[in-house]
Structure 1
Amino acid sequence: MSAPDAVGLPLTGWRVLVPRPAAGVSPAAIALAAAGAEAVVVPLVETVPPEDLGPLDDVLLALGAGWYRWLVVTSQAAVPVLEARAAHAGRTLAGIVADAHVQVAAVGPGTARALRDAGVVPTLVPRGESTARALVAAWPALPRTTRT
């Protein structure tokens, strides 16, 4: 937004630092610009896959084989890594999840959006804050079993 367009907006003349991961559009920067501020986005976090991909590959193989009932994704940055490792195995993340009938939990709406973009529909996304605490609080109760 140019300076003349910003006249009369509440943050006109403000320059605001927005630290964030490198990938993606910053909703905060968009909102600040709409209010007249100059948002300066500075990438401070870089997400890289682990150096040893063997354990991740093993877990994805076990996931696809039905060893797990749930996949919990706590960061949208994890989704492209999971997709890449699934592709390395000749699969898609969506295919692994669907074939194994795995339910998927996302820590928040950004992670849920990244999963949906990968073709994975999350079963559980907590409302409110995007934290592990909120995810655990929203977790469905396990069915009770009776002992005989």
Structure 2
Amino acid sequence: MKSCVVDASVAVKWFVGDAPDENNIPQALQLLDIGISGNAVFIQPPHWVAEISAVLARRIPQLASDNIADLLQFDCVRIVDSFHAYQRAISLSQTLNHHLFDTLYHAVALEEDATLITADRCYYDKAKAAGGIIMLEDFAA
């Protein structure tokens, strides 16, 4: 079973349909299918639902509540809320000069020997040297 962390830039794609401003939706949906089928576990930081909720409430407010209800039902998610993940996130935040919410996804991946899958090119370019991260466009099942 694969272990991965998906940040909000990926998870939002599960709900926005064919939004013209979103790329790599097929890869995001393939990743979700792998998780739902039991072949992957998404190891997530505790803020991920709040972050996705904020984006969905802004982008598709009429569907946001139903989408979050669906998200909370996924059996393929495990939340990691550990001191070591926060400690590493703070270190990454300082080293990369980047806000903690993004580095917390990455820290969870590094602490749990998983891979962060992101669609956030800005963060990826800053953080790729730390390892444990790939772009969604490079994801292959």
TM over 0.5: no
Q: Which has the larger radius of gyration?
A: 1
TM-score, with structure 2 as normaliser: 0.31
More helix by share: 2
TM-score, with structure 1 as normaliser: 0.30
